[in-house]
Structure 1
Amino acid sequence: MFSLKKLLTTLSAAALVSTAPVAAIAQDQPGAGVSMIMAQPTWDTGWFQTEIFKQMFEELGYSINAPLTLDNPAFYQSVGYGDVTLWVDGWFPIHNTYTHAFEGSAEIIGPVVSGGALEGYLVDAASAEEFGITSLDDFKRDDVKAAFDRDGDGRADLVACPPGWGCELTIEHHFEAYDLDSHINPIKAGYASAMADAVAAYETGSPILFYTWTPNWTVNELIPGEDVVWIEVPEVSLPDDMADLVDAATRSGVEGCVNDPCMLGFPANTIDAVANTAFLDENPAVRALLEAVEIPITDVYAQNAAMNDGDDDIEAQAAQWIADNRAQVDGWLETARAAAQ
């Protein structure tokens, strides 16, 4: 005999069975069915944290292809338009010059790498001692220029920043402010190859002058205070959009600097995420994860050194880092899942 009550009871039980796994998946993977487009910078020292975040986002269910490698201007314009979802390689305040491209449509969340980030100029320690080099101003001296002139143009060679990098603008400002154009030749070729050439020159006993930042493999290969020293600028002078950050360009306790406090000439930065606001509003789990995670800068140093030694399997390195920090990662993921409920 047909029983409507029995049928409804059976259907209700079936519904509970069929929807329970769906609800569990939705709770565990709030990003299921959602695609993200991540970007990474042209400097490979930032790719480690990019891959760590990519793998964590994938644990939340988001679908992500290989990150797009973009120059700064292209990324900041793209994230503003929503063509790219995010990257975790914003350097602020040195990237302040790009904020006009995404104001109102993307936002800065950070820091994603804890411990701060330095920038500045370094000289091999032996030459600094031999020639008494403590400042960029010393490169106006004929004997110093001759020692550091490897291409014969009468100017000291400096490994600088490729076009499109935020540091390129600050270095150009320094050259104008300190009247260095006729004294120093900025090498703007690919940074990794130019630094590899500088390291090779150092190993043969040749003087070297280079710009770098931290975290970076250079400070593992050429250790400040042992192999090289940070030198100072004649006075702190910054581009107009960073003029209010003058005090942050002098830092105390910089290991391997010729003076303490050290007048680096670049404001100390934080490494932050920059993400499209509309996407964040639709995906609170992503916002929550970006806000929760901080990767120790020493871990990035270690990976950069391994990469420079030839271990370029960044996917495996990130997976190992996640495994080594599983308890903390699980806590971050739970925070993200809770935000999505």
Structure 2
Amino acid sequence: MKLTNTLFAGAALSVMTATSALAQNAKVTIGDLSWTGATAIGHVIKAVIEGPMEGEAEIVEGLSDGGAIAAGMDKGDGTADVYTDLWMPNRSGIWDKYVDGANSVAVNIPYEGTQMIYVPSYMAEKGVRTILDLAKPEVAAMFDKDGNGKGEYWAGAEGWKSTKMWQVKFKSYGLDELWEAEVLEDATFKGQLKAAIQKEEPILFYYWTPEWVHAAYDLTPIQELERVDGCEDMDLDAEDWLEVSHFNCAASNASIYVAYSKSLEQRNPAAAKMLSQMALEPAVVNQWILQIGRDKEDPRDVAEAWVADNMDVVNGWIN
């Protein structure tokens, strides 16, 4: 009887140990956000966990709604563990509810996202470098494509708030007498950008980071006025948004995080530690977007190749 009890206790202990080990190495579920930068980051996280960390990770196909991902991270049941590209202050609702509020979601060290107006660097070499340069009629004339006396700049696509923002900025800087906005789809504009750069023609345009154009071309941002109190006051939802809005300074940079469920600290501590220490470089993200977005390479192949070639960086995240 004593021997039977001993065997039973030993078997139970073995089961408990195995269960504990499994609980410490739970599968990490990653959201499937729809933009290319988020796709790239998700596949890199998966490649790190399944490669050097010898764990299990899954990008949940179709899990693309940010609110649903955040709610899953809050639950802590493994339905959603990672939000790959959390832009702040854009997603302040998620941050306020789960990071600061419920304290159920943690984040890594962020990288910066920017939105600026650019010229190819060959135009910067010709003296087009600042907002004050754009106020010179001879500069605007260089960018006049249709001969109507105004230079054109790409402000973005129809329906983007940033498209309205740049029209407000040009009005607020007093540039609307010399410049007019072009509103085109992103793909159409990228075709124009490629053609202009191939011919070294003038082109002025809004863009943001991270994006592949910065990895593909030599671009220079136009320097704007520094931010001061009251320089940005916009109501882009108003019917008369252009008249009531004002913005005559540089836009604030975004802070972009990898967010993850704090439940991973118990369910998979190694993955939680890696995610907390993951530090991304904007230039690297630009390159991933170039390969996946422009060159149509498989995101998994891009991620696995990058991890294999950058184990010094990856080991810094893990250890």
TM-score normalised by length of structure 2: 0.69
Give how far 1:330 is off: 5.8
Whether 2:278 is the aligned partner of 1:293: answer yes
2:237 paired residue number: none
Matched, 1:233 2:224: yes
Alignment counterpart, residue 86 of structure 2, candidates 77, 86, 90: 90
Deviation for aligned residue 1:207: 0.9
The separation in 2 between residues aligned to 1:125 and 1:6, in whole angstroms, is 82
Who is 1:65 aligned against? 60
Residue number in structure 1 paired with 2:242: none
Q: How does 1:99-178 map to 2 (within 5 A)?
A: 99-100=92-93, 102-106=95-99, 109-113=107-111, 116-130=112-126, 132-150=127-145, 155-162=150-157, 168=163, 171-178=166-173
Deviation at residue 203 of structure 1 after TM alignment: 0.9
1:165-220 Cα distance to aligned partner (Å, 9 max, x none): 67557535523421444543444544354223212122123211122334432223
- Tell me if structure 1 keeps the 8 A contact 2:131–2:224: yes
Q: Which residue matches 1:257?
A: none
Would you say the 8 A contact 1:173–1:239 is kept in 2?
no
**Structure 1: 5+ residue runs without aligned partners?**
242-262, 336-341
Correspondent of 1:53 among 30, 45, 57: 45
Deviations 1:1-36 (CA, angstroms, capped at 9, x unpaired): xxx222223323333444444333333x1x24x7x4
CA distance in 2, matches of 1:143, 1:22: 73
Alignment of 1:1-341 (within 5 A): 4-27=1-24, 29=25, 31-32=26-27, 36=29, 38-40=31-33, 42=35, 44-56=36-48, 60-66=55-61, 68=63, 75=66, 77-78=67-68, 86-91=82-87, 95-100=88-93, 102-106=95-99, 109-113=107-111, 116-130=112-126, 132-150=127-145, 155-162=150-157, 168=163, 171-224=166-219, 229-234=220-225, 236=227, 238-240=231-233, 265-274=250-259, 280-284=261-265, 285=269, 287-307=272-292, 310-326=295-311, 329=314, 332-333=317-318
CA distance in 2, matches of 1:5, 1:111: 56
Structure 2: runs of 5 or more not aligned: 74-79, 101-105, 235-247
8 Å CA contact 1:39, 1:67 repeated in 2? yes
Provide the secondary structure at the position in 1 that maps to 2:116. Answer: strand
Partner Cα separation in structure 2 for residue 176 and residue 309 of structure 1: 33
Whole-Å Cα distance in 2 between the matches of residues 309 and 47 of structure 1?
13
Partner SS state of residue 157, structure 1: strand
1:48/1:98 CA distance change after superposition, 3 Å: closer
Measure how far apart 1:266 and its partner are: 3.1
Are the equivalent residues in 2 in contact too, given 1:118–1:268 (CA < 8 A)?
yes
Farther off after superposition, 314-323 or 103-112: 103-112
Q: Measure, in 2, the Cα distance between the counterparts of 1:69 and 1:187.
A: 31
Residue 129 to residue 15, structure 1, CA distance change in 2 (3 Å): closer
Once the two structures are overlaid, the 10-residue window that deviates more, 118-127 or 310-319, is 118-127
The one-letter amino acid paired with 1:199 is K
CA distance in 2 between counterparts of 1:158 and 1:102 reads 35
Output the CA distance in 2 between the equivalents of 1:288 and 1:119: 31
Q: More deviation in 323-332 or 206-215? A: 323-332
Report the CA distance between 1:79 and its aligned residue. 5.2
Give the corresponding residue for 1:244: none
Task: Tell me how many residue pairs correspond in the alignment.
Answer: 286
